[in-house]
A and B are shown apart, each in its own frame.
Chain A
Amino acid sequence: GQNIDQPTEMTATEGAIVQINCTYQTSGFNGLFWYQQHAGEAPTFLSYNVLDGLEEKGRFSSFLSRSKGYSYLLLKELQMKDSASYLCAVVDSNYQLIWGAGTKLIIKP
């Protein structure tokens, strides 16, 4: 079966750095997405990785290792507005998105 694993919840302090991990086992791989979802809102696109390595976009970076079936999302200089759920999703061999259950990130002052 196909599986995406993420921690259910994480807590971090404002101004700090947090790393959210995602491991996957899917039938094929055609890319990995990270989305942000604030409570009661729709998911919004953060990043897309298809090749190994680190993609940096402002305070957010995403890393991929295809051989390990592993990705992480790194958030720097955390702000209160970063409190949200972070969803990892993998594009499988049929070009369907397989979603993780999401990681709820709580930022404390």
Chain B
Amino acid sequence: IAGITQAPTSQILAAGRRMTLRCTQDMRHNAMYWYRQDLGLGLRLIHYSNTAGTTGKGEVPDGYSVSRANTDDFPLTLASAVPSQTSVYFCASSDGQGGYGYTFGSGTRLTVV
């Protein structure tokens, strides 16, 4: 089934630990995105990649890093987790400029304690 797979589904993480959230798509979309969603704030863009080999910073990039070694994978790394990074993280992809028809993964619920 074509779509986006995120892992893990949920995680409880001790503050200060390193964590990588995985995202894989099989639709051959060029653009991929990482969002965090917090109650009352909506979706906020962390990092994006318009094509393999390139990445860019979104609205809230601090404390996060990404890589895009190939078209399908777009992992998000928290180098040293802090409680304010407790959130639901969504990976998304799109097939063209303008984000027409974003497809979202099922999300990762991360709790940093």
**A→B interface (CB under 8 Å):** 4, 8, 30-31, 33, 35, 41-45, 48, 87, 89, 91, 95-97, 99-102
Contacts and interface: CB of A to CB of B under 8 A. Distances in A.
A88 B48 CA distance: 20
Interface residues of B, number: 21
Interface stretch (B18-26, B63-71, B72-80, B97-105): B97-105
B86 to A, nearest CB: 16
Interface of B: 35, 40-45, 48, 58, 90, 97-107
Contacts of A31: 98, 100
Contact of A95 (B40, B44, B97): B97
Given A42-B90, A101-B40, A101-B42, A96 B104 contact: no
Nearest to B106: A42
B45 A96 contact: yes
A101 B44 CA distance: 9
A47 to B, nearest CB: 11
Given A96-B45, A99-B42, A101-B42, A45 B99 contact: no
Contact of B42 (A30, A44, A95, A102): A102
Q: A-B pairs with the 5 shortest C-beta distances? A: A42-B104, A101-B42, A99-B43, A99-B42, A97-B99
A42 B91 CA distance: 10
